Amino acid sequence: MAEETTNQGIPRPEGNADLIQTDYEIGQDNIQTKVGPFGLDIHNPVFVISGLVIIAFVAYALAAPTQAAEFFGWLRPALTSTFDWFFLWSANIFVLFCLVLIVSPYGSVRLGGTDARPDYGYTGWFAMLFAAGMGIGLMFFGVLEPVYHMAISEPLGVPSPIAEDGSIIEANVDAARRMGLAATSYHWALHPWAIYAVVALALALFSYNKGLPLTIRSAFYPIFGERVWGWTGHIIDTLAVFATLFGLATSLGFGAQQANAGLEHIYGLPNNTTVQVILIIAITGVALISVLRGLDGGVKVLSEINMVIALLLLLFVLFAAGVGGILSDFVAGLGAYLREVVPLSNPHGRDDTGYMQGWTAFYWAWWISWSPFVGMFIARVSRGRTVREFVTCVLIIPSLVCLLWMAVFGGAAIDQVLTDPAGSAVKAQVIDSYNPPLSLFAMLEGLPLSSITSTIGIILVIVFFVTSSDSGSLVIDTITAGGKVDAPVPQRVFWCTFEGLVAIALLIGGGLGALQAMVISTGLPFTVILLMICFAIFKGLMNEKRG
């Protein structure tokens, strides 16, 4: 079995990494063919099944929009309210698992073998983690959530400082302000990044150290053994493609609506389907250029541009809203987060179900349904890091950035609401009426140069979508090519375009909400899968050389 002739052979162990011996050869199930001038190298049957199932679901959502909306509209809250304890406990386990890895001796295992060196420097690596992982969410929720949790959802029963008649109850202000930031940070700091870290670590470990293909099924090798190359694996990979493509397409549809709302708000552009379709085509077009330019020339460059623009906007809000106040918000928010993270993570004996089920459980399902995509992308760019470095950088540093972001955007917004409740646009858009897409722009309106910063805000929203779309297309392309990272170019063009088309179809025909609810519903089975992955990681790390 271990003969080394020309190629396609089973390798001898390299000494510095613990290869898994399997008869499976990467690409053995692939079909290499030509459709017209387009060369293809696709996995059979994952590529075809994912494509067809996606078309079938879009057809269903278009043919029976009311029925689909009713069913999935019921399913999602039903899952998050029934299984809230399960989501909360699982997320806690992922955080603890990561923290244990940091301090355990396994932390010194290097992804890619003892002699591997990191593929990317810290700046590029970090920019890509962030842009793929949650960039767009920060834009959307950075203002909305802190204000909402301060004034409306009352996490852990901390009372709102806004009275029925809109006046301020001074006695409640300090505690509510701290809780607004802490309750938001809880959703954006350690827990989501622990979810991503678990998936990413499993994929990196089983691919770079064990020599299995870079696709989701490889993480299940310690559990299912050789069966992962059969239908068990086909189903896992198809589900991942499915969650990724629908997650991206529905976000793209909603993102176009948000950008359109912003454009209407600032420039008075009409808010209709035509403008939104044009936005989707533009976003997909830029994403297409990005995937054609590849990981280094496209995705990385865009992610870095994004980081710079986001940083500038962050600094602007920080200084415009008052450095002193914001930094004290950051410190108070961090302190409150550390104090409240344990009570917030405990699902038992709580009265704030609106917050716990409607926000926390929903978020956990959401992060988990996105984890195959983000995890795989993180794995793709993380070779050469040690497990300790990897987990620290994926868990701790993004968490701190999120805390800072929320303190700046949330703190500035809360300040506006509390100092001038009657004149605050944030209060009008978040508390008096619930208008999430406009919350960021409402906050920027309260600061100087709002027409410039709002335009930058819209650009940032759009570019964040591009960076999600291009990295997502790369991930889907790799999965549907059976873990090959060198599949022909037309395939990534296909997935990137397909994603835009699905978004347009759902936008015109209705069904964006239903399918997004469905994607989030996949969070439940994936949670079980993630718990199994934690076990697989431990098993995999045990045989690795440290140092």
Partner 1 sequence: MFKKIMMPVDLAHQGDLKKALACAADLASHYGAEIVYVGVTAAAPSATAHNPEEFDAKLKEFAAGQGREHGVTASSKTVLCHDPTTDVDDAIVKAAKDTGADLVVMASHVPNVLDIVWPSNGGRVAEHVDCTVMVVRS
Q: Which residues bind partner 1 (CB under 8 A)?
A: 4, 6-9, 11, 14, 17, 19, 25-27, 36-39, 112-113, 116, 119-120, 207-208, 211-214, 292-298, 380-381, 383-384, 474, 483-490, 492
Helix/strand/coil (H/E/C) assignment for every residue in 38-103: EEEEEECCHHHHHHHHHHHHHHHHHHCHHHHHHHHHHHHHHHHHHCHHHHHHHHHHHHHHHHHHHH
Give the DSSP letter string of 388-446. Answer: HHHHHHHHHHHHHHHHHHIIIIIHHHHHHHHH-TTT-HHIIIIIIS--GGGHHHHHHHT
Q: Please, which residue, 374 or 506, has the CB nearer to partner 1? A: 374
Q: Please, which residue, 192 or 298, has the CB nearer to partner 1? A: 298
Q: Please, which residue, 73 or 545, has the CB nearer to partner 1? A: 545
Tell me how far, at minimum, the Cβ of 238 lies from partner 1, in Å: 20
Tell me how far, at minimum, the Cβ of 151 lies from partner 1, in Å: 46
DSSP one-letter code for 110 = B
Angle of CA points 478, 483, 489, to nearest 5°: 40
Tell me how far, at minimum, the Cβ of 214 lies from partner 1, in Å: 4
Name the amino acid, one letter, at 485: V
**Tokens linked to 2:** 């271990």
Residues 127/304, Cβ–Cβ less than 8 Å: yes
Tell me how far, at minimum, the Cβ of 298 lies from partner 1, in Å: 8
Tell me how far, at minimum, the Cβ of 293 lies from partner 1, in Å: 6
Q: Please, which residue, 322 or 490, has the CB nearer to partner 1? A: 490
**Tokens linked to 430:** 């978040």
Angle of CA points 383, 385, 388, to nearest 5°: 140
How far is residue 69's CA from residue 60's CA, in Å, rounded to a whole number?
A: 11
Tell me how far, at minimum, the Cβ of 5 lies from partner 1, in Å: 8
Tell me how far, at minimum, the Cβ of 373 lies from partner 1, in Å: 16
Q: Show the DSSP H helices in 268-361 as ranges.
A: 273-294, 301-320, 323-345, 353-355
Q: Please, which residue, 207 or 360, has the CB nearer to partner 1? A: 207
Picking from 521, 535, 541, the residue whose alpha carbon sits closest to that of residue 76 is: 521
Q: Please, which residue, 18 or 445, has the CB nearer to partner 1? A: 18
How far is residue 184's CA from residue 148's CA, in Å, rounded to a whole number?
A: 9
Q: Please, which residue, 19 or 428, has the CB nearer to partner 1? A: 19
Tell me how far, at minimum, the Cβ of 485 lies from partner 1, in Å: 5
Tell me how far, at minimum, the Cβ of 500 lies from partner 1, in Å: 18
**Tokens linked to 294:** 């590849």
**Tokens linked to 545:** 């050389």
Q: Tokens 């064990």 label which residue?
A: 210
Q: Please, which residue, 306 or 473, has the CB nearer to partner 1? A: 473
How far is residue 513's CA from residue 61's CA, in Å, rounded to a whole number?
A: 10
Q: Please, which residue, 436 or 490, has the CB nearer to partner 1? A: 490
Question: Phi and psi of 41, rounded to 5°?
Answer: -145, 85
